Structure 1
Amino acid sequence: MRRIGVLTSGGDAPGMNAAVRAVVRKAIYHGLEVVGFRRGYHGLVYGEYSFMQLGSVADIIHRGGTVLLTARAPEFLEPEGRQKALGIIRESGIDALVVIGGDGSFRGAMALEKAGFPAVGIPGTIDNDIDRTDYSVGFDTAVNNATDAINKVRDTATSHERVYVMEVMGRTAGHIALAAGLAGGAESILVPEVPFDLDEVCERLQRGVKRGKLHSIILVAEGAASGLKVAEEIKERTEMDTRVTILGHLQRGGTPTAFDRMLASRLGAAAVDLLLSGCHGQMVGFVDNTVKSTTFSEALAKQKPFPEDLYRLATILAI
């Protein structure tokens, strides 16, 4: 192996740049050349790539987003698009590819593997919904962003004695809502994995008012319900002053936390080591504070288990 490629795909996640930096510098340390593809699989289909040097990744470890950019590539989903991508791969002269992204990105890597081209993956998604890894790059930053927003909203909620419904990202997974809700002391956390009863939520709010509570925070993962609709229901059922804050893409931006930078650096280096050892068709993950690899098929076989013990704890502590 003498040359590898790297791309970032899917939604951007804080720490992706740190992962790119680690891949590039670890590869160059071992005497490999590195090609960076822009805009994910789009760049792979349309030949948007360039050679990367040590200086190409200077001063990016602290930056959010991805310097390689990311975009949807519907063309890659079609056989003709994948054939074009394989042609670009031959043109670029790379011997393997490192894909940084989520489940959709890994399915693209699996498609390349089926076509006979080696690929490895680094989990990079704020949703933290990839199985076989405790954390995905970007999750910790997103949780910290959401927790910081809860802290700030709580000041206003207390001052005006209001209920605030805060909607966070998580279409199919409630990991951000749970972690930020537990860390931020939310009174109720609504996630896709656990059925909820708005009557119970309202009863909890009313109990709080009776004991003199001045405010409440209800955290809603977007896949569980609409924050706007939840707020309307709460206001109608309780007549409490209820407002809504939808964090949206705010959660995905900003400087990655130290944890995400370290995680991305470790996984990026491990991805290069995996390729140098002759292994591919795998994802490098972080399990029990150790970097471990697992096949793409195992990582994508099922949805990541939801930590119901933490959910129960959050409910108990918000009593």
Structure 2
Amino acid sequence: MPKRIGILTSGGDCAGLNAVLRAVTLRAIQGYGWEVYGISHGTQGLLRRPIDYQKLDLKSFEGSILRLGGTILGTTNKGNPIAYPMEDGTLKDRSAEFAEGCQMLGLEAMIGVGGDGSLHILRKLMEKSKIPFVAIPKTIDNDLGITERSIGFTTAVDVATEALDRLQPTAASHDRVMILEVMGRDAGHIALAAGIAGGADIIIIPEIPYKLQNIAHKIDDLLKKQRNFALVVVAEAVKTENGSALQIFDLNGRARYGGIGHYLSDEITRLTGAETRFTVLGHLQRGGQPDASDRLLASAFGVRAVDLVAEGKFDRMVAWQNRTIIDVPILDAISLNSTVDPNDALVQTARGLGICLGDAPYA
């Protein structure tokens, strides 16, 4: 068995990452007597010279770290070492430097926490480094294949639900339609779950095509029933009615989703005459204290990942299915994108509650 393992967090941050780091460290030290090295800022820490890392021990996790959002190691969602962007605009393969960093630390196994994109990169890097690798899934979008839940999702849903709880009274006070735009790069899991929990009247997700007229009909029907407000939740990846993607570009020309809340606000006002406001929740969904569910899942994933290393089971990802922890091939998990099934139980729940999903008014 290895005596020295590394751990890193990669991709976007989310609530529950520190709980994973704690679980891995406690299990590795108390269960097996290993050393644990935390790599700073994901893959970037192993590219730097001197290597950017910290040795994790039991004292590292005394106090409040379990309760903290983000990651004490830092993370990154750019600078792929296999195609690293250089100052002259070229791309360089720095995977050999990454492997050298692993060797300099004497790592005998690596545990990586990430989503589909970052785990795909990490898996290739670890193959090139010839160091055994185990993966832990985290993504607030909950769109990583095979696992029913990923770290960060339930806290993100809690934040979005609380936002709806806060928007409802002001919507009622001002006779308004309030639109909440939530994250969901490829999937509508956050919008669907938070919309049901937060009492939304309309939920628009990328998996179910919508018609603006159906949304307008639902709002008109609410107003006819002496309701003076409406709540709408929409996932950021939803396109316009004609199928156009709405994106925002930064100064470097990088695109990200954004603008669907604004678009729906204008269209609802045009079609119904209702006074409409939109709120983009954005990165608020990533931060803050992890809820109990994310802490529990992170702890269970961390312990099982260390046990997989001890058992010599590598190139595996821990996953949650049927109320238990399993492990699956990493490639199988990252190759399957888990979007909302239009026949999903929560979709049927929403329809049963009279929530408009855009494909019909459900007035």
- Fold conserved (TM > 0.5)? yes
Alignment of 1:65 onto 2:65: no
| Higher helix content, 1 or 2 | 1
Alignment of 1:312 onto 2:348: yes
Unaligned stretches of 5+ in structure 1?
none
Partner of 2:273: 239
Number of aligned residues = 319
2:142, 2:189 within 8 Å by CA — same for their partners in 1? yes
Task: For residues 132-168 of structure 1, give each alpha carbon's deviation from its aligned partner in whole angstroms, at most 9, with x where no partner exists.
Answer: 1111111000000000000110010011111011100
The separation in 1 between residues aligned to 2:181 and 2:195, in whole angstroms, is 11
1:187, 1:315 within 8 Å by CA — same for their partners in 2? no
TM-score (norm 2): 0.86
2:207, 2:341 within 8 Å by CA — same for their partners in 1? no
Partner of 2:110: 97
Tell which deviates more after alignment, 209-218 or 140-149.
Answer: 209-218
The separation in 1 between residues aligned to 2:283 and 2:351, in whole angstroms, is 27
Deviation at 1:171, TM superposition (A): 1.6
Alignment of 1:54 onto 2:68: no
Task: For residues 216-271 of structure 1, give each alpha carbon's deviation from its aligned partner in whole angstroms, at most 9, with x where no partner exists.
Answer: 11101000041001100000111001011111111111110011001000000000
The separation in 2 between residues aligned to 1:297 and 1:83, in whole angstroms, is 22
Identical-pair percentage:
40
Where do residues 93-172 of structure 1 align in structure 2 (5 Å cutoff)? 93-115=106-128, 116-172=130-186
Aligned partner of 1:277 among 311, 322, 326: 311
The separation in 2 between residues aligned to 1:305 and 1:239, in whole angstroms, is 34
2:77, 2:118 within 8 Å by CA — same for their partners in 1? no
1:150, 1:184 within 8 Å by CA — same for their partners in 2? yes
The separation in 1 between residues aligned to 2:271 and 2:116, in whole angstroms, is 39
The separation in 2 between residues aligned to 1:240 and 1:149, in whole angstroms, is 21
- Please provide the CA RMSD for this pair: 1.2
The separation in 1 between residues aligned to 2:286 and 2:341, in whole angstroms, is 22
Deviation at 1:77, TM superposition (A): 2.6
2:15, 2:289 within 8 Å by CA — same for their partners in 1? yes
Tell which deviates more after alignment, 142-151 or 78-87.
Answer: 78-87
1:126, 1:137 within 8 Å by CA — same for their partners in 2? yes
The separation in 1 between residues aligned to 2:352 and 2:324, in whole angstroms, is 31
1:112, 1:118 within 8 Å by CA — same for their partners in 2? no
Letter in 2 for 1:181: G
Tell which deviates more after alignment, 47-56 or 12-21.
Answer: 47-56
TM-score (norm 1): 0.97
Deviation at 1:98, TM superposition (A): 0.7
1:42, 1:72 within 8 Å by CA — same for their partners in 2? no
| SS state at 2:73 partner | coil
Letter in 1 for 2:268: I
2:203, 2:234 within 8 Å by CA — same for their partners in 1? yes
| SS state at 1:74 partner | coil
Partner of 2:188: 174
Deviation at 1:313, TM superposition (A): 2.1
Deviation at 1:50, TM superposition (A): 2.0
Deviation at 1:73, TM superposition (A): 4.1
Where do residues 215-234 of structure 1 align in structure 2 (5 Å cutoff)? 215-225=229-239, 226-234=260-268
Partner of 1:82: 95
Deviation at 1:303, TM superposition (A): 1.1
Aligned partner of 1:42 among 34, 44, 64: 44
Partner of 2:296: 262
Task: For residues 114-145 of structure 1, give each alpha carbon's deviation from its aligned partner in whole angstroms, at most 9, with x where no partner exists.
Answer: 32221111111111111111111110000000
- The alpha-carbon distance between structure 1 residues 202 and 241, as it changes in their structure 2 partners (threshold 3 A), is same
Moved over 3 A (4+): none
Deviation at 1:277, TM superposition (A): 0.2
Deviation at 1:186, TM superposition (A): 1.0
The separation in 2 between residues aligned to 1:73 and 1:221, in whole angstroms, is 23
- The alpha-carbon distance between structure 1 residues 50 and 158, as it changes in their structure 2 partners (threshold 3 A), is same
Aligned partner of 2:333 among 284, 293, 299: 299
The separation in 1 between residues aligned to 2:173 and 2:80, in whole angstroms, is 52
